[in-house]
Structures are given as structure tokens and as C-alpha cells.
Amino acid sequence: MYKRSNESGTAVVQQLEEVLEQMTDNGDFRAVVLASDEGLPLAAVPSHYDSDTTAATVALLQRVSREARDQLEMAKVDEVTISDCERIRLVCRYVEVDGDMLILAVMVPSGTYYRRVTNRAVRRIKDILCPV
């Protein structure tokens, strides 16, 4: 799947978790999950967070965004956001790595900026999974 075949899967997951930990520290996020587009969690921070539920929600949002894109003739979707009445957001950023689509799901507290932190994380995730 990814070009880093000389490293064990555990080492890659640890590197991804480090990226997610830095995201939660820098962005003051409640939780961050990196999942496949099928909804399988690859890494999550905090580790006790229910990443399976979040990943399943992310997979559902992936399908909804794909249908909306097709029916509304939109360009490739970059992000999907759901907000609750307290302005807490679930932000799903799409990350393409070596032809595979991953989803970076972030629980963002009200009034918190997230785009710069997620942009940095997306670049680092790509570097880890598909180095040049």
C-alpha cells in the first residue's frame, strides 16, 4: 500500500500517533483520528478515545460527500465539517497518499482555529507514508 516497506507497521503507527499528538497539543483539539476511507482507524489520539465510532462516522461522511460531489457536480472534496449547537466541530480532512484516500478527523472545540495545524499534519502524514 505504501512505499515504506522497510519499516514495521508498528513504527509507522507510532510516527502517525506522534503527528496526531502534536496536533492535539498545538490545536487544543479534543481528539484526532486518522482512518482509511472505509472507516478503519489507523491511529488515534487520545488512545482511549472511541476511534472505532469516529472512524465509522467518517466513513459515512465520506459516502455522503462522494454522493453530494457527484450529484452537485462539485470538484474533489477537501473537507467536510459537522457542527453541533455548542459550535463543537467534527472536521474531516481528506488526505491522498500514493493513490489511497485517508481521512483525518478532528474534534475541534468552539472558537478554535484548525486549518494551519491540520495542513501541517497532512504534509507530515504524507511524508511518513510516502517519502520521496
Please give the residue range of the domain that contains residue 94: 9-129
Work out the average pLDDT over 17-40. 91
CA–CA distance, 126 with 129 (Å, rounded to integer): 5
Total domain count, the chain: 1
CA distances from 39 to 4, 49, 74, 96 (A): 22, 15, 23, 15
Mean of the per-residue pLDDT values for the chain? 85
**Does the residue 3 lie in any domain?**
no
pLDDT band at residue 130 using 50, 70 and 90 as cut-offs: confident
Q: What is the CATH number of the domain that holds 48?
A: 3.30.450.30
**Does the residue 1 lie in any domain?**
no
How much is the pLDDT for 9?
Answer: 76
**Does the residue 122 lie in any domain?**
yes
CA–CA distance, 103 with 44 (Å, rounded to integer): 12
Work out the average pLDDT over 97-105. 90
Q: What is the pTM of this model?
A: 0.83
Beta bridge partners of 115: none
Q: 46 preceded by cis ω (within 30°)? A: yes
CA–CA distance, 19 with 128 (Å, rounded to integer): 10
